[in-house]
Amino acid sequence: SFKRAYNFNAGPAALPLTVLQKAQAELLDFSDTGMSIMEHSHRGKDYEAVHNQAIELLKELLAMPSGYDVLFLQGGASLQFAMLPMNFLPAGKKAGYVMTGVWSEKAYKEAERLGQVFVAASAQEGNYRRIPAAQELQYDASTAYLHITSNNTIYGTEWQEFPDTGAVPLVADMSSDILSRPFDVSKFALIYAGAQKNLGPSGVTVVIIRRDFLEQADKNLPTMLKYGTFAKDNSMYNTPPTFSIYMVKLMLEWVKDQGGLTALYRRNQDKAALLYDAIDASHGFYTGHAQPEARSLMNVTFRLPSPELEKKFLDQAKKEGFVGLSGHRSVGGCRASTYNAVPIESCQALQAMMLAFQQANA
């Protein structure tokens, strides 16, 4: 017997125990084939079924309208920072970026090497505590696309409502909050997400792309850098990361078993509320980094009164079985990532630990 850690890692992050157990049970003999899914050809029917089930489940869970393709890529969300402008930022056009944190900055800088970009709005002042309001966004009808980061993993801020950009294609990096709540896919021309938070293990990046947008892509790119290559061959032009995609399929089945995105959204709200309540009721002992109206349900960021107390808190948390609570170096302090697979019991335990620590040290 063993004890599961209270895993608050920012990514790669906690996976549901039942998903891990299913993978374990199927590891040596997948579906009576006498071998692991890892050992199957990606061209064989056994793997192909897994691959297509993952795509269909994602479409179903996100209530994706027709006219969209789901692609499996490699290179992480970071490769998307470059692939997006390579495909969709032609000479003579400009792409707009909404700056809400380090990942938006990285996306912007990568696009800047490849074409013309502009800042459509920025929340940098005050170190990314907020999300710009829709009225703040500055762009015009000729904008190639508008890029947002739906959840800012490092700062713990999250878009509460996505902007309506009309004919201007809206693109989102949803790496750290996809599948955490229902949203309207039809607002977006392209969505990308590294898998290693809510979708599964690292090694695969999911791209959701609207076909009419895809048609506008640059055709003169290296084969592996064209979204069209992946769309045309159902993400099997070359060998896909089969085991990661298999794990994504298990995760999506789990999401469905939990009651889908509406149920998970409710649970994520309850989980985050436990921690935000502990912050808000602490009379300033804990201070949240994000402005309350921009608070993320996935990454709860907070500070203690001094670096010494932060160190003491993190040391004690470690002793009590909590993992991954150090804040990112650009914010400092603490961060609890409460992705879909983090059970409410972990958040209850952390809330109790925060209260006890405050009582002993305030």
State in angstroms the smallest separation of the CB of 215 from ligand PMP.
Answer: 26
Label residues 97-114 b or e (16+ Cβ within 10 Å = b): bbbbbbbbbebbebbeeb
| Least CB distance to ligand PMP at residue 149 (A) | 5
Backbone angles phi, psi at 243, to 5 degrees: -70, -40
Q: Where along the sequence are the contacts to ligand PMP (CB under 6 A)?
A: 11, 76-78, 103, 149, 153, 173, 175-176, 194
Partners of 299 in the beta sheet? 337
Taking the least distance from each CB to ligand PMP, the nearer of 11 and 85 is 11
Radius of gyration of the chain (CA): 21
Which is closer to ligand PMP, CB of 121 or CB of 354? 121
Backbone φ and ψ of 223, nearest 5°: -50, -45
Residues 147-174: b if buried by 16+ CB within 10 A, e if exposed: bbbbbbbbbbbbbeeebebeebbbbbbb
For residue 55, which of 233, 297, 298 has the smallest C-alpha distance? 233
**Could you tell me the smallest distance in angstroms from the CB atom of residue 303 to ligand PMP?**
20
State the minimum distance, in angstroms, from the CB of residue 103 to ligand PMP.
4
- Name the closest residue to ligand PMP (Cβ): 76
CA 206/CA 68 separation, integer angstroms = 13
| Beta strand segments in the chain, E | 6-7, 68-73, 94-99, 116-122, 146-149, 151-152, 157-158, 170-173, 190-194, 205-210, 287-288, 299-303, 322-323, 334-337
Q: Which residues on neighbouring strands pair with residue 96, listed in sequence order?
A: 118, 146
Residues 6 or more apart whose CB falls under 8 angstroms from that of 193 comprise: 77, 173, 174, 175, 178, 199, 205, 206
Residue 70 CB, shortest distance to ligand PMP, in Å, is 17
Smallest separation (angstroms) from ligand PMP to the CB of 242: 18
> Is the CB of residue 271 less than 8 Å from the CB of residue 347?
yes
**Which residues are tagged catalytic?**
103, 173, 197
